[in-house]
Amino acid sequence: MSVGGSVAERAGAWASVRDRLRERGLRWTPQRRLMVDVLAQTDGHITGAELVERCRELDPATIPSTVYRTLDVLEQLGVIRHGHGRDGREEFHVLPQNEHGHLFCSGCSGSWDIEAPEASPLVRALRRQRGFAVDLSHLTVVGVCEDCSSDRGVARRS
């Protein structure tokens, strides 16, 4: 399930989490409420460890295993989606306005978003050749950026 881009839709998505859980026979607990509060104030990306930390600031009794399990549930609801950062660790896209992947340079550690139009050559090729539907949020491409390859990855430009 995807979430729309307007401010109202974003606010609505968070407000509806409680009801969406109950519809599925799942429960609305103080721990989940805290996590949703923190996520609603988060823009862009967050790792599990970062979320544990931010929840602990508000409630020091926060338990990591509960946070990680709830992240799984929230992803099933479609309110967050994970990709993988430079080191392969999961990073959650929090209500992404526009679905995107990530591009990392292994030379300079730079990173850029990959928007849908840029990914479409791959997405279309896999769809046509295999009927495979690529998850763009989950796409992480690594390589060497233009600056780093002309620098040979080491020298500083003048």
Contact positions vs its own copies (CB under 8 A)? 84, 88-90, 103, 105-106, 112, 118-119, 121-122, 124-126, 129-135, 138-146, 149
Structure tokens at 22: 């109950």
Choices 17-25, 70-78, 84-92, 99-107 (CB under 5 A): range interacting with Zn ion:
99-107
Question: How far is Cα 68 from Cα 11, in angstroms, rounded to an integer?
Answer: 23
Min dist. Cβ of residue 70 to DNA (A): 5
Min dist. Cβ of residue 68 to DNA (A): 4
3-state DSSP call for residue 8? helix
Nearer to Zn ion, 19 or 135 (CB): 135
User: Residue type at 57?
Assistant: E
Considering only residues 16, 42, 47, 111, which one is a binding residue for DNA as defined by CB under 7 A? 47
Structure tokens at 103: 């591009």
3-state DSSP call for residue 14? helix
The option from DNA, its own copies, Zn ion, none interacting with 61 (CB < 5 to 8 A, set by class) reads DNA
Q: Which of 153, 69, 148 is nearest to 112 (CA)?
A: 148
Question: How far is Cα 72 from Cα 137, in angstroms, rounded to an integer?
Answer: 16
Min dist. Cβ of residue 57 to DNA (A): 14
Does residue 70 touch DNA according to CB under 7 A?
A: yes
User: Residue type at 99?
Assistant: E
Q: Which parts of this chain interact with Zn ion (CB under 5 A)?
A: 105, 107-108, 110, 145, 148
